[in-house]
A and B are shown apart, each in its own frame.
Chain A
Amino acid sequence: MTTAEQTWTESTTEVAGLGVRSLQGGSGPAAVVLHHSSGNLGWIPFYEELARSFRVTVPDLPGYGQSQRPAWARDARDVAILMDRFLARVAPEGAVLVGLGFGGFIAAELATMHQERLGALALVGAAGLQPEEGELLDQMLIDFPEYMAAGFRDDARYREFFGEEVAKEVRELWDFSREMTARLSWKPYMFNRRLPHLLPEVRTPTLVVAGGADRVVPLACARQYATLLPNSALEIVEGAGHFVDYEEPQALAALIARHAGA
């Protein structure tokens, strides 16, 4: 993509003394996307699709990518507090909050603290709850490319997306991201036992999305979110794995736009 064709801009917002870098594109109501634990790959097709309906902001979560590390942060809730302050700055009028995987965990935590901030919520393959059935795939116990591949419906789709040889920059991003994730979610891994007790208080209209072939976060988690959140709807995207945003960008963006009435 040349500069002339670039449809997005980049900026840095200060939150709690830390620079949070984000990408922005599109116009319309505000939508903020919180990325997966593997980090933000840049302005991917899903953001471009979403930008047809929204003014999209995608921060690098604190400690990931180009955002400064909160050395003191110890769990998803700490990052949720920082993201709440980030939203106060970039979308003070309220936003559609989209959380992907680990970002979904953070979005759910944020909603329990400050739902007034949110026009709508979309949790996509969200971690954060201990699955009643199955186990969350543990990225600390397997080779990271294997973990990433498990995020797709099959390995062929993974190779289609990342190529036969994963680019060095991407591997570095994964490596750095994994370290930050290990700082934030170690034990218990990728869930918070306190969260389910607070979710029933969240009245925000929420779309719970999961790929029908998710091999990272068991589908049970999506069902649990849908049960616990009183104002929610569940959408299973058949044929997609955990990374619905990578695999089905158009379908996912359309679901979110419809949900938010944009």
Chain B
Amino acid sequence: MFIGYFTERPYQDQKSGYFGAAGRDIADLGISNREYDPRLGSDLYNRYLDEKVYAEEMGFDGLMLNEHHSTPFCMGGVVNVEAAILARITKRARIVILGNVLPIWDDPLWLAEELAEIDMISRGRLVTGWVRGTGRESVAHNAQSPFNWDRFQEAHDLVLAAWTRSGPFRWEGEHYNYRYVNPWAKPYQQPHPQIWIPGVMSRNTVKWAAEHRYPYVMLATDLEPTKGSYDYYDEVARESGYEAGTQHRGYLFKVHVDETEELADQAARKYVEGPSNPFLEGNQGIVRPYLQNLPGMTSRTNLLPTVTSFTQARARGRLAEHEQATAEAEGKVEAADQFGTYENQKERMTIITGTPKTVIPKVRHVLEYLRPGSIFFWDGDGAMDHDDAMRSLRLMGEEVIPATREIAKELDLKSPFEVDTMTNDAVAEEAVAAPAG
């Protein structure tokens, strides 16, 4: 079992008016950065890095970072900078980037160099992950949305080639062209760091990940459709000639632990308050379907929604693609909370909160039901402050993580560091041991 820690690093501005229940609506790509206060940004970046260091002390195996652009809900626009700092200031935990938004890179060779440097500085602790990004990311860095999936695949191929083929060589692709690929940096881990693919609803991506034998990390989706996606992964795996195992399954879910049930409830409510991800259910932000659903982000050959994709889209409280299209046509702007309040999410266990005593059985339920080899606790988000985050981290370290490891052992949940996802062979003991700092 691999246990990681995640927060989306929201830009929490107590004075902004869009913080908490008192304020203005947050519409996606709807806030001018004239309100951005770099001093506050400085405090927050440092706070989040400090929390990551503490998470390592508390025994987490991985520190997960993500990337979004032009939005207050996630400060990880240049996630590789955070990863590079963590590479130096942490000693043991793996740095898990889930993920870099591949299609918006016009120069993915530069990304290959950055990630190789991070892997070297961390002495082999990088886990890379790549995503297609939402419409927001394509707008923010002006990447042509109809070629999003093509660019994702080609950038992946290019980065891998840059890491594994001896240079110099030419790269003449459909979207990327280089006359001299010969980066003077190589990943510490050979042939390259593990690649995990995070996702929510794209069958394309699940299929692609399964075909490549990359672990697929479902991001805070409801339990049932998450299982549905794993089943689909397993199906593709069998078609590709192998049996997928727990090592191929990752799951991110919201877990906040606190000293009392009352404190837990107070803090966990903050998941859906303040500048947290407006695409999550219960959130106070406003989704703009026409940005989310930029032209061509979804292949029109798969235009007709299947029941499955509809379920998966709904699973995260997001509008399904066709609902988005309809809303778009009808000129509606949808608030994301239509599918569930905080209470509703708690009931469905998309938010797990309480004291260690009440949280651990719920974590057990998730592990039993989904059988993931890697999990990430998503905490410290929305309007949660540093104290909320630190209390939870401490209790996770003291009680939840050790208990979770025991449960995982009992359930035989193996991570990609215990069972090689490419061969399904057990990983040698010395390789399992965390690298020295």
Contacts and interface: CB of A to CB of B under 8 A. Distances in A.
Interface of A: 140-146, 165-166, 171, 174-176, 178-179, 181-183, 186-187
14 contacts: A140-B295, A143-B289, A143-B333, A144-B290, A145-B328, A145-B329, A171-B326, A175-B325, A176-B300, A179-B146, A179-B300, A182-B295, A183-B147, A183-B296
B300 A146 contact: no
A146 B332 CA distance: 10
A3 to B, nearest CB: 30
Most A CB contacts (10 A, CB to CB) among B291, B295, B326, B333 go to B295
A143 B296 CA distance: 15
Interface stretch (B8-16, B137-145, B176-184, B363-371): B137-145
Query: Is chain A's interface secondary structure helix, strand, loop, or mixed overall?
Result: helix
B229 to A, nearest CB: 26
Interface in B373-420: none
B144 A171 contact: no
A182 B300 contact: no
A86 to B, nearest CB: 23
Contact of A144 (B139, B147, B300, B328): B328
Most B CB contacts (10 A, CB to CB) among A142, A166, A186 go to A186
A187 B139 CA distance: 11
Shortest Cβ-Cβ A-B pairs, 8 listed: A171-B329, A179-B295, A182-B295, A186-B144, A178-B295, A179-B296, A183-B146, A143-B290
Contacts of A145: 328-331
Contact of A142 (B145, B290, B296): B290
Contacts of B145: 140, 182, 186
B27 interface: no
A186 B106 CA distance: 14
A144 B328 CA distance: 7
A140 B294 contact: yes
A187 B329 contact: no
A181 B142 contact: no
A174 B295 CA distance: 10
Contacts of B290: 142-144
Interface string B287-317: 0111100111000100000000000000000
Contacts of B330: 145, 165
Contact of B329 (A140, A142, A144, A179): A144
A175 B327 CA distance: 12
Interface of B: 139, 142, 144-147, 288-291, 294-296, 300, 325-326, 328-331, 333
Contacts of A186: 142, 144-145
Contacts of A165: 330
Query: Is chain B's interface secondary structure helix, strand, loop, or mixed overall?
Result: helix
Nearest to B29: A141
Nearest to B290: A143
A163 B16 CA distance: 40
A187 to B, nearest CB: 6
A187 B142 contact: yes
Nearest to A165: B330
Contacts of B288: 143
B332 to A, nearest CB: 8
B295 A181 contact: yes
Nearest to A189: B142
A187 B147 CA distance: 13
Contacts of A181: 295
Most B CB contacts (10 A, CB to CB) among A146, A174, A175 go to A175
Contact of A166 (B147, B291, B329, B333): B329
B144 to A, nearest CB: 4
A146 B294 contact: no
A166 B331 CA distance: 10
Contacts of B326: 171
A76 to B, nearest CB: 14
B382 to A, nearest CB: 27
A174 B300 contact: no
Given A182-B294, A182-B295, A143 B144 contact: no
Given A143-B288, A143-B290, A144-B290, 14 more contacts: A140-B294, A141-B139, A142-B290, A145-B328, A146-B331, A175-B295, A175-B325, A175-B328, A176-B300, A179-B295, A181-B295, A186-B142, A186-B144, A186-B145
Most A CB contacts (10 A, CB to CB) among B289, B326, B330 go to B330
Contacts of B146: 179, 182-183
Contacts of B333: 143
Contacts of B329: 144-145, 166, 171, 174-175
Contact of B144 (A142, A176, A178, A182): A182
A23 to B, nearest CB: 23
Contacts of B295: 140, 175, 178-179, 181-182
A171 B322 CA distance: 12
Nearest to B174: A72
Contacts of A183: 144, 146-147, 296
Most A CB contacts (10 A, CB to CB) among B145, B329, B331, B333 go to B329
B77 to A, nearest CB: 19
A102 B300 CA distance: 22
Contacts of B147: 183
Nearest to B291: A141
Most B CB contacts (10 A, CB to CB) among A140, A141, A171, A183 go to A140
B328 A143 contact: yes
Contacts of B300: 176, 179
Contacts of B296: 179, 182-183
Contacts of B294: 140, 182
Nearest to B135: A140
A183 B295 CA distance: 9
A175 B303 CA distance: 11
A176 B333 CA distance: 21
A181 B294 CA distance: 12
A171 B329 CA distance: 6
Contacts of A175: 295, 325, 328-329
A143 B325 CA distance: 10
A150 to B, nearest CB: 12
Contacts of A174: 329
B269 to A, nearest CB: 32
B151 to A, nearest CB: 12
